[in-house]
Chain A
Amino acid sequence: MPLSDAPARPRTASAAPDDAAPDADDAAVRVRGLVKRYDGRAVVDGLDLTAAQGAVTAVLGPNGAGKTTTIECCEGLRSPDGGTVRVLGLDPVADARRLRPRVGVMLQDGGLPTGVRALELLRHVAAMYAAPRPVDELAERLGLHGFARTTVRRLSGGQRQRVALAAAVVGRPEVVFLDEPSAGMDPQSRRAVWDLVRELRADGVAIVLTTHLMDEAADLADHVHVVDHGRVIASGSVRELTSADGAGPGSVRVEAAPGLDVTTLVEALAEPGADWTAAEPEPGVYTVTGPVSPAAVAAVTGWLAERGVLARSVTTGSRTLEDVFLDLTGRNLR
């Protein structure tokens, strides 16, 4: 295999003095104070984000939160209006030529030419790298052989996504950016994609993905950044984010007849020093938050029994990532 004429590249991030940080060395992606404006409006407004090597970092956020713009700044497709972006210690715009062979990209809209056949496209992208992954093996892995000779135009959304993912990883990248990788995929495709992402992580690749799918973030991500209005509003592991103020599980969720008076539920739970809250966020669904204990669950079911109401379900445990997300970003449609 002929080697590239490009100069040897440093393996670790070489941080510039002004943005050196204690955690800088193992960060594959480091974004500090990123600002990006379109027509004067700041779409990304002082965003900080770090993604470690050998880990999956999820960027969660509602539509228009600035996720794709942030990722595109990391990919070198857009120039920041402020702040710094470093990928493998390099500037994605100024050092683009050195960075491109080491970074794999899957765009939100795919970016696949439509007139070519699926595997032909993958071979073409592979030709850009000195030592790509074997195309047939990768195609086998993602189940592309079933439509290898079908033109991209005729593929389903999920099939296109799998081709796009294959194109993103065929060059054996050290960092992979996946913008909504599971959009339009059937459950089988999603499993195949998630398995591949885990395998990349095990190989030491840094994976940064944006998603709306809470289960995707919850199942895959080592670290989650919740983005809204162009900023990161919460960061942490899924466990850190879902355990209320880090103090462990603290909620009971009850599904039963709608319209019960939740103030009496709080009274039923009352014990000295405990701070309970109860709400009916949607008709027939009650959430009780506080220091959950076996006695507390008994008190909740006792409260239902007093009213002759049969619960359809009683669930204890931490909040889901979706609860956290909706609490942070609001429940209104936008």
Chain B
Amino acid sequence: MSAAPAAAPVVRRVAAQASFETRAILRNGEQLLVTIVLPVLVLFALVRTSFVDLGTNGFSRVDLVTPGVLALAVMSTAFTSQAIATAFDRRNGVLRLMATTPLGRSGLLAGKVLGVLTVEVVQVAVICGVAVALGWRPELGALPAVVGTVLLGTAAFTALALLLAGTLRAEGVLAVANLVLVLLTVGGGVLLPAQQLAGPLAHVAVLLPSGALGEAMRGALLHGAVPPFSVVVLLAWTAALGAGAARLFRWH
């Protein structure tokens, strides 16, 4: 043998993993249903029907709903989809196998996060396309605030996904991740302003990562500013959930 075998450069390893993760999500029917089809259906339903009184406050339905749907899309990919994928990868030994390649554990994590962000780009493109077709005309100046909000939400919900995926059985994660998505969608202040929720839920929702993400997205797109309180809530959740995942995540 000649020189010792070497790893590919770290950028190439992580990029390969990110692309691999992205393709795995976009090719999986159930994942697509949750990440693309569900948010688009919600967008359509809330804009084109009037079952839900939005109390539009001077905004058009599509203006009010689209930010919430974008927040839902972030949740579905960074949390539900990622939690389920990671849980089954963990059960099937995929995490351990990839950790023994030059990718390593940190490269695997970086690849997963980049994969999530790539899927989110696809989601945002599809959702914004549909919303524009429905009459949405966003301020382009809001883009940096939207990107920042997506990143904050992704951090908090990916941490939650990893905490679940690294501690519960795969079947348990499948159930919990879907259930939590439904509960947060209905009562977590993500789709519609938290203050429209009934009673004490209005106060609780703004403290949840879902409510904070929804409020931040609406702030960015409706009012031209992200409420600092939502940023603090998201950062706090990211720190707490991230610390929990780092401590409790089990690779076996």
**How far is A61 from B165 in the complex, measured between Cα atoms in Å?**
33
Q: Given A107-B96, A113-B89, A127-B16, does the pair A6, B7 have CB atoms closer than 8 Å?
A: yes
- Annotate B138-156 by CB proximity to A: 1 below 8 A, 0 otherwise: 0000000000000000000
Other-chain residue from B88, B93, B100, B102 in contact with A129 (beta carbon distance below 8 A):
B102
**How far is A130 from B12 in the complex, measured between Cα atoms in Å?**
10
**Interface residue B52 (Cβ < 8 Å from any Cβ of A):** no
**Interface residue B56 (Cβ < 8 Å from any Cβ of A):** no
B1 with A204: CB separation less than 8 A: yes
Question: In the assembled complex, how far is the CB of residue B106 from the closest CB belonging to chain A, in whole angstroms?
Answer: 9
**Interface residue B28 (Cβ < 8 Å from any Cβ of A):** yes
**Interface residue B132 (Cβ < 8 Å from any Cβ of A):** no
B101 with A128: CB separation less than 8 A: yes
A174 with B5: CB separation less than 8 A: yes
> Can you show 28 pairs from A to B with CB atoms below 8 A apart?
A4-B9, A11-B4, A75-B100, A77-B100, A78-B252, A100-B100, A100-B101, A101-B102, A110-B97, A112-B93, A113-B89, A113-B94, A116-B20, A116-B24, A124-B17, A124-B20, A125-B101, A127-B8, A127-B13, A128-B13, A128-B101, A129-B5, A129-B101, A130-B5, A130-B6, A130-B8, A174-B1, A174-B5
**How far is A76 from B99 in the complex, measured between Cα atoms in Å?**
9
**How far is A114 from B7 in the complex, measured between Cα atoms in Å?**
25
Interface residues on A, range: 35 or more
**How far is A109 from B101 in the complex, measured between Cα atoms in Å?**
16
Residues of chain A contacted by B9 (CB below 8 angstroms): 2, 4-5, 130
Question: In the assembled complex, how far is the CB of residue A134 from the closest CB belonging to chain B, in whole angstroms?
Answer: 14
**How far is A64 from B5 in the complex, measured between Cα atoms in Å?**
34
B24 with A115: CB separation less than 8 A: yes
B92 with A112: CB separation less than 8 A: yes
Residues of chain A contacted by B44 (CB below 8 angstroms): none
Other-chain residue from A76, A102, A127, A164 in contact with B5 (beta carbon distance below 8 A):
A102
Question: In the assembled complex, how far is the CB of residue A150 from the closest CB belonging to chain B, in whole angstroms?
Answer: 14
- Annotate B1-32 by CB proximity to A: 1 below 8 A, 0 otherwise: 10011111110110011001001100110000
Q: Given A4-B7, A116-B20, does the pair A203, B1 have CB atoms closer than 8 Å?
A: yes
Residues of chain A contacted by B5 (CB below 8 angstroms): 101-102, 129-131, 171-174
Q: Given A76-B100, A97-B104, does the pair A124, B4 have CB atoms closer than 8 Å?
A: no
Other-chain residue from A11, A100, A114, A130 in contact with B92 (beta carbon distance below 8 A):
A114
**Interface residue B136 (Cβ < 8 Å from any Cβ of A):** no
DSSP class of B's interface residues: helix, strand, loop or mixed? helix
**Interface residue A274 (Cβ < 8 Å from any Cβ of B):** no
Other-chain residue from B24, B28, B88, B102 in contact with A128 (beta carbon distance below 8 A):
B102
**How far is A229 from B92 in the complex, measured between Cα atoms in Å?**
26
**Interface residue B249 (Cβ < 8 Å from any Cβ of A):** no
**How far is A109 from B23 in the complex, measured between Cα atoms in Å?**
23
**Interface residue A111 (Cβ < 8 Å from any Cβ of B):** yes
Interface residues on B, range: 20 to 34
A107 with B6: CB separation less than 8 A: no
B97 with A167: CB separation less than 8 A: yes
Residues of chain B contacted by A204 (CB below 8 angstroms): 1
**Interface residue A307 (Cβ < 8 Å from any Cβ of B):** no
**Interface residue B206 (Cβ < 8 Å from any Cβ of A):** no
B7 with A112: CB separation less than 8 A: no
User: Which chain B residue shows the least CB distance to A204?
Assistant: B1
A115 with B28: CB separation less than 8 A: yes
Question: In the assembled complex, how far is the CB of residue A26 from the closest CB belonging to chain B, in whole angstroms?
Answer: 14
A128 with B7: CB separation less than 8 A: yes
Question: In the assembled complex, how far is the CB of residue B88 from the closest CB belonging to chain A, in whole angstroms?
Answer: 8
**Interface residue A197 (Cβ < 8 Å from any Cβ of B):** no
Given contacts A77-B100, A110-B97, A111-B94, 19 further A-B contacts (CB under 8 A): A4-B9, A5-B10, A11-B4, A77-B251, A101-B4, A101-B5, A110-B92, A110-B93, A111-B93, A111-B97, A112-B92, A113-B89, A115-B24, A124-B16, A127-B12, A127-B16, A131-B5, A171-B101, A173-B5
Question: In the assembled complex, how far is the CB of residue A92 from the closest CB belonging to chain B, in whole angstroms?
Answer: 9
A101 with B6: CB separation less than 8 A: yes
**Interface residue B192 (Cβ < 8 Å from any Cβ of A):** no
**How far is A164 from B101 in the complex, measured between Cα atoms in Å?**
13
**Interface residue A96 (Cβ < 8 Å from any Cβ of B):** yes
**Interface residue B113 (Cβ < 8 Å from any Cβ of A):** no
**Interface residue A105 (Cβ < 8 Å from any Cβ of B):** yes
B4 with A102: CB separation less than 8 A: yes
**Interface residue A41 (Cβ < 8 Å from any Cβ of B):** no
A112 with B102: CB separation less than 8 A: no
